[in-house]
Amino acid sequence: MFSEMRSLRFLKTQQEDYLDAILTDRFLRPLALLRLITRRPFLVAILTRKPWVRLRQILLGWKVLFIFVYLYSNIFQEMGY
C-alpha cells in the first residue's frame, strides 16, 4: 500500500514537472521574441533601412520635416479630415 502511494506521488511530481516545463516554455518564448524585436533597432543601422530620410536631411536640412507636416496638415484640412 505504501509503495503504491509512493509510486503515485512520483507520477504526480513527474506530471507536475512536465506541466511546469510546458508552461515555462510557453511563457518565456514570447518574451524572448519580444526581446529580439525590441533589440532590433539597436542592432540594425536605421539610416540604411531608410536612406531617403538621411538624404533629405543632408540636402534640405532637418527643418524640412516641419514643412512636410505643415503641408500635409493643410491638405487634410482641405479634404475635410
pLDDT in tens, 52-72: 777 777 777 766 666 666 667
The pLDDT, as a whole number, for residue 16 is: 63
Residue 81's CB is within 10 A of a number of other CB atoms, namely 7
The residue segments making up the domain with residue 64 are 45-81
Same-domain status, 51 and 32 = no
Q: What is the pTM of this model?
A: 0.24
Q: Do 40 and 1 reside in the same domain of the chain?
A: yes
Predicted pLDDT of residue 39: 64
Look at residue 1 and tell me whether its pLDDT is greater than 60.
no
Q: Note whether 53 and 47 are within 8 A (CB).
A: yes
pLDDT confidence of residue 33? 78
Please answer whether residues 49 and 40 qualify as being in contact, where contact means their C-beta atoms are separated by less than 8 angstroms: no
Query: In terms of domains, do 8 and 26 share one?
Result: yes
How large is the average pLDDT for residues 3-17? Answer: 55
Same domain, 39 and 58: no
Q: Do 32 and 65 lie in a common domain? A: no
Reply yes or no on whether the pLDDT at 12 is more than 60.
no
d(CA 10, CA 21): 16
Q: Do 52 and 74 share a domain, yes or no?
A: yes
35 with 57, same domain: the answer is: no
